[in-house]
Structure 1
Amino acid sequence: MRRVRYYEYGGPEVLTVEDVEPPVPRAGRVLVRAEAIGVNFVDTRFRRGPGRGGIFQRPLPGRPTGDVVGTVTAVGPGADPKLIGRRVATLAEDAYAEYVVAEASWLADVPAGLDPGDASMLAMTGPVALRILRAAQMSTGDTVLVHAAAGGVGHLAVQLAKLLGAGTVIGTARSSRKLDFVRAVGADVAVDYARPDWPEEVRAAAPRGVDVVLDAVGGSVLRSSLGLLAPFGRAVVYGAATGDLEQIPVAELFALRSVTGFNLTAWRREAPDQARRETDELAGLFASGRLRTTVHVRLPLAEAATAHEIMDARSHLGRVLLLPHR
């Protein structure tokens, strides 16, 4: 089979396509014949290397993660043989491959007929988008600020906020094309957060402040966002694309504001039953057409470097997919 790894840190060109034997699932794991692989931005950061004081540290050889959709073809010891033949979605390491090993306990069943783009969101991206809204205790009528709203998590979070009853959704992005996309997926207001005056644009749209901030950018964007929170406003931080984890200014929190961190792995460990229910809930939303994924591009596995170039340039709208058997 073919897979993609990298053996040195650097640009997309370090991604190497190689021929290897298919992996054998260990205890509690399954082998999945991959139909589609959702590319995640964080892996472009790991590929570049840790750098000086960087938070994105992963040893070589690099095994990119991904949101894999496919069919279970084999199970390891202790895994249910009835899983064989099931179409599933899963977050996996060494995901850029024709066959992928995944944990049997965190397979998401894919509803019949669901498009690979939508199905890929059941592995990680969709559960994150839903849970960060609930971690923020979003209520009906709330004003919600979604950063990086044109990305995979962001464009789902905009839609989900509306489905959950948000009054006003403000989405940020970095170009006029992305701002148009953010509005198209349901945002009431779209703001270019590359502009130095972007906080003033948010204040104009929400003079009393925002109730919820969803942020995976970090750095100065997070710091400015805290100042935009209304009394009793809640920020949920679920990443730091800039690599900059500034210290949160405690003085900003004295104005009855709060900040919560979120990590999907920790959530699944601490609340597994609820995490599974929410994945099923998302599957129902996708199956009914109430939630939709925009797929920016579908590329053959051999063009993984092109996928990373797109992610590095942040030119994508929604999801970037690799198709291993194309």
Structure 2
Amino acid sequence: MRRIRYYSYGGPEVLTVEQADIPVPGPGQVLVRASAIGANFVDTLLRRGPSSGPIFDRPLPGRLTGDVVGTVEAVGPGVAVDQPASLVGRRVATLSEDAFAEYVVADLDWLAEVPSGLDVGAASTLPLGGPTALGALRAGHLAPGETVLVHAAAGGIGHLAVQLAKVLGAGRVIATAAGAAKLDFALDHGADVAIDYSADDWPDQVGKAAPDGVDVILDSIGGQTLLRGLDLLAPLGRTVVYGVASGDFREIPVTSLFALRSVVGFSLLAWRAADPEAGRRDVAEIAGHLAAGRLRTTVHACLPLDEAASAHRMFEERAHRGRILLLP
């Protein structure tokens, strides 16, 4: 089978197409033949290695994460013992740490069955994007009628967070993105106000849109964006950090929290480990919203697997709106 890995840190050009044996599922695992792979921005930082920041320092060879949509081809020992073929042939989605390949193995515990009629773009949000957006909003204890600020609102997770904030009852959703096309995209996905965060006065613009302050901020950028956002919070306002796309790991001054503001981090993997049942319920809830039309996924581009480097260039150029899919 074909797969993509990298054997040195660097730009998109280090991504290498190679031949490998089809993996064998172990106990509690299944083998999935991929039909589409949702790419994730974080892999561009991991691919660059230590230069991206200490948390992105991983050993080589590098493997690319992704949201794999495909069909179960085989099951490992201990899976469906009473009827071992019951999973074979089912359409599923799963998060994989070695996703850019024609076949992947997946843990049965986190396999999401794709509802009938769900297209591949929507299905690709079940393992990571949808549950992350939902989990971040809940970590911020969003209450009906509150104002939410979503940074990077045109991204793969951001455009889902904008919609889910409305589903959960937000009174006003303010979206930030860079460039007119992305601002229009955010408005089209339900934002009430869209602000270009490449403008130096973006906090002033947010302040005008939310004169009483913002109740919940979803921040996947970090750095200066995180620090400037703290001053926009209303009393008892909450910032949820679920990514550091800027690679800027600035410390939060303790004095900035004295105004009854709070900052909390959210990690989907940590959430699943802490409360597996709640994690599975979140996946089911996202599937329900997608099936009912309350949530929609936009796919910016579908590329052949061999063009993984092009997908990473789109991420780094901030050229994408919504998801980027690779097709084996």
Q: What range describes the TM-score normalised by the shorter chain of this pair? A: over 0.9
Aligned counterpart, 2:104: 100
Aligned counterpart, 1:149: 153
Per mean C-alpha deviation after superposition, the further-off stretch among 52-61 and 241-250 is: 52-61
Of 301, 306, 312, the residue aligned with 1:302 is 306
Secondary structure of the corresponding residue to residue 175 of structure 2: strand
Structure 2: how far apart are the matches of 1:314 and 1:74?
Answer: 38
Secondary structure of the corresponding residue to residue 289 of structure 2: helix
1:168 and 2:185 matched = no
Q: In the TM superposition, what are the counterparts of 1:18-97 in structure 2 within 5 Å? A: 18-51=18-51, 53-80=53-80, 81=84, 82-97=86-101
Asked if structure 2 preserves the Cα contact closer than 8 Å seen for 1:55 and 1:243, the reply is no
Q: Which amino acid aligns with 2:114?
A: V
Secondary structure of the corresponding residue to residue 55 of structure 1: helix
Structure 2: how far apart are the matches of 1:289 and 1:228?
Answer: 32
**Which aligned runs of 4 or more in structure 1 are off by greater than 4 angstroms?**
none
Per mean C-alpha deviation after superposition, the further-off stretch among 155-164 and 16-25 is: 16-25
Structure 1: how far apart are the matches of 2:56 and 2:63?
Answer: 14
Q: In the TM superposition, what are the counterparts of 1:5-20 in structure 2 within 5 Å? A: 5-20=5-20
Kindly state the Cα deviation for residue 291 of structure 1 after the two structures are TM-superposed: 0.6
Aligned counterpart, 1:232: 236
Distance of aligned partners of 1:138 and 1:58 in 2 relative to their CA distance in 1, 3 Å threshold: same
> Which consecutive unaligned segments of at least 5 residues does structure 2 have?
none
Distance of aligned partners of 1:96 and 1:52 in 2 relative to their CA distance in 1, 3 Å threshold: closer
Q: Which amino acid aligns with 2:58?
A: R
Deviation string, structure 1 residues 36-68 (Cα, Å, up to 9, x no partner): 100000001111111275321111111101001
Deviation string, structure 1 residues 175-195 (Cα, Å, up to 9, x no partner): 111111111111001111111
> Which consecutive unaligned segments of at least 5 residues does structure 1 have?
none
- The CA RMSD over aligned residues, in Å, is 1.0
Deviation string, structure 1 residues 282-325 (Cα, Å, up to 9, x no partner): 1011111111000000011011111111111111000000011x
Deviation string, structure 1 residues 265-284 (Cα, Å, up to 9, x no partner): 11011111111111111101
Secondary structure of the corresponding residue to residue 33 of structure 1: strand
Structure 2: how far apart are the matches of 1:52 and 1:239?
Answer: 13
Secondary structure of the corresponding residue to residue 196 of structure 1: coil
Deviation string, structure 1 residues 1-33 (Cα, Å, up to 9, x no partner): 111111111111111111121111122211100
Q: Which amino acid aligns with 1:282?
A: I
1:183 and 2:187 matched = yes
Structure 1: how far apart are the matches of 2:77 and 2:284?
Answer: 26
Distance of aligned partners of 1:52 and 1:33 in 2 relative to their CA distance in 1, 3 Å threshold: closer
Asked if structure 2 preserves the Cα contact closer than 8 Å seen for 1:108 and 1:123, the reply is yes
Kindly state the Cα deviation for residue 251 of structure 1 after the two structures are TM-superposed: 1.0
Q: Which amino acid aligns with 1:37?
A: I
Asked if structure 2 preserves the Cα contact closer than 8 Å seen for 1:89 and 1:108, the reply is yes
Asked if structure 1 preserves the Cα contact closer than 8 Å seen for 2:147 and 2:171, the reply is yes
TM-score, with length taken from structure 2? 0.97
Structure 2: how far apart are the matches of 1:300 and 1:83?
Answer: 27
Asked if structure 1 preserves the Cα contact closer than 8 Å seen for 2:240 and 2:264, the reply is yes
Identity in percent: 65
Deviation string, structure 1 residues 96-125 (Cα, Å, up to 9, x no partner): 011011111101111012100000000111
Asked if structure 2 preserves the Cα contact closer than 8 Å seen for 1:54 and 1:243, the reply is no
Structure 2: how far apart are the matches of 1:11 and 1:258?
Answer: 36
Asked if structure 1 preserves the Cα contact closer than 8 Å seen for 2:52 and 2:247, the reply is no
Q: Which amino acid aligns with 2:32?
A: V
Q: In the TM superposition, what are the counterparts of 1:198-277 in structure 2 within 5 Å? A: 198-277=202-281
Structure 1: how far apart are the matches of 2:53 and 2:125?
Answer: 31
Secondary structure of the corresponding residue to residue 133 of structure 1: helix
Distance of aligned partners of 1:230 and 1:67 in 2 relative to their CA distance in 1, 3 Å threshold: same
Aligned length: 324
